[in-house]
Amino acid sequence: NAGVTQTPKFRILKIGQSMTLQCTQDMNHNYMYWYRQDPGMGLKLIYYSVGAGITDKGEVPNGYNVSRSTTEDFPLRLELAAPSQTSVYFCASLGSDSQETQYFGPGTRLLVL
Amino acid sequence: GQNIDQPTEMTATEGAIVQINCTYQTSGFNGLFWYQQHAGEAPTFLSYNVLDGLEEKGRFSSFLSRSKGYSYLLLKELQMKDSASYLCAVREEDAGNMLTFGGGTRLMVKP
| Mean pLDDT over each residue of chain B, to the nearest integer | 94
A104 and B43 within 8 Å at the Cβ level: the answer is: yes
CA–CA min distance B78, chain A (Å): 22
Q: Please name the amino acid found at residue B55.
A: E
Beta-carbon neighbour count of residue B25 at 10 Å?
Answer: 12
pLDDT, tens only, A7-65: 999 999 999 999 999 999 999 999 999 999 998 889 999 999 999 999 999 999 999 99
Measured distance CA(B85)–CA(B81) in Å, rounded: 11
How many CB atoms neighbour CB B109 within 10 A? 20
pLDDT above 80 for B95: no
Query: Coil, helix or strand for A85?
Result: helix
B21 - beta bridge partners? Answer: B72
In whole angstroms, give the CA distance from residue B82 to residue B84.
6
A45 and B102 in contact by Cβ < 8 A? no
Residues of chain B contacting residue A101, judged by C-beta atoms under 8 Å apart: 33, 45, 48
Read off the pLDDT of residues B20-41 as tens digits, 9 standing for 90 and up. 999 999 888 889 999 999 999 9
If we measure between CA atoms, which residue out of A55, A60, A58, A59 comes closest to residue A70?
A: A55
Q: In angstroms, rounded to a whole number, what is the distance separating the alpha carbons of residues B66 and B59?
A: 23
pLDDT higher than 60, residue B1:
no
Rounded CA Rg of chain A: 13
Give A54-106 pLDDT, tens digit per residue.
999 999 999 999 999 999 999 999 999 999 999 999 999 998 775 678 899 99
- Decide: helix, strand or coil at residue B81: helix
